[in-house]
Structure 1
């Protein structure tokens, strides 16, 4: 059986209000456009999540809200406070409780970059993969019956994109 992970870092957030707590920062206009573009990209390639695990921060929720309208039958989002600035080990622990064959996770750096690097067997040929800029999205497949079986270093890269960049 093949399981698919769509791993997305939140789109570009606003720093307009320096007094706003980090957790409450919204997307800026560029981030809103990038999230909508990511939704179109996912839909055009048939990368359709059956489950969405999302940090409960405003910018990750707004990223999913920008993606969802482009997807046919977009699933409800499951907000996961543990994903807010989570490290790779926490991200894997959250993923292991997923139940859909195709799961999307929306999170933050630096943890999401580390998780992306550690979850795949071989990184894609992209200079941006290691730094995982805002909006970066990895699609990886796993030969496993359940997410509980997934381990680091076992994912096969299917696709990787950074908004405004060509897919690799």
Structure 2
């Protein structure tokens, strides 16, 4: 049995400055742009290098990845934009994940679905006050004892780590 690893990242902080902008077209704000790089550096420092990135097609998720991608330059993953991940509920996120091919996958999405998905995937949630609310930029690294993503079921994941940008800024 091999071990699969999921890096589950909520998009970085978005800009609410333009009240006329469609939700899907909201960009990142300055704090979000800094946070994306911090989270990528944290992942690289731990050796968590995705082979595939499944990303919502919203502007803020795409910008989050675009700012993270240069940090993975030595092992550039394949980016797959998935419109189905835009505000997806947990069951849709699982269906998208089951089609992944790399043993290390990063998924970039939105709340509330990403928090629900993280909680459903794990056998035991981390003892972390931020986990339930899954703030912007929050990233869970979880492991699964399975040969393929199609075999992954709710409650089968183990927490490897959980981090938020705010903690890295401190």
Partner of 2:10: 9
Partner of 1:144: 146
Partner of 2:28: 27
- Correspondence 1:1-168 to 2 at 5 A: 1-71=2-72, 72-165=74-167
Name the TM-score, length of structure 2 as normaliser.
0.96
SS for the counterpart of 2:61 is helix
Q: Which runs of 5+ in 1 are unaligned?
A: none
Name the TM-score, length of structure 1 as normaliser.
0.97
Q: Which runs of 5+ in 2 are unaligned?
A: none
- Quote how far apart the aligned CAs of 1:164 are: 2.0
1:91-145 deviations in Å (ceiling 9; x for gaps): 0000000010000000000000000000010111110000000000000000000
1:6-44 deviations in Å (ceiling 9; x for gaps): 000000000010000000000000000000101100100
SS for the counterpart of 1:105 is strand
Alignment RMSD: 0.7
Aligned residues: 166
SS for the counterpart of 2:162 is strand
Distance (whole Å) between structure 1 residues aligned to residue 83 and residue 137 of structure 2: 20
Distance (whole Å) between structure 1 residues aligned to residue 130 and residue 160 of structure 2: 16
SS for the counterpart of 1:94 is helix
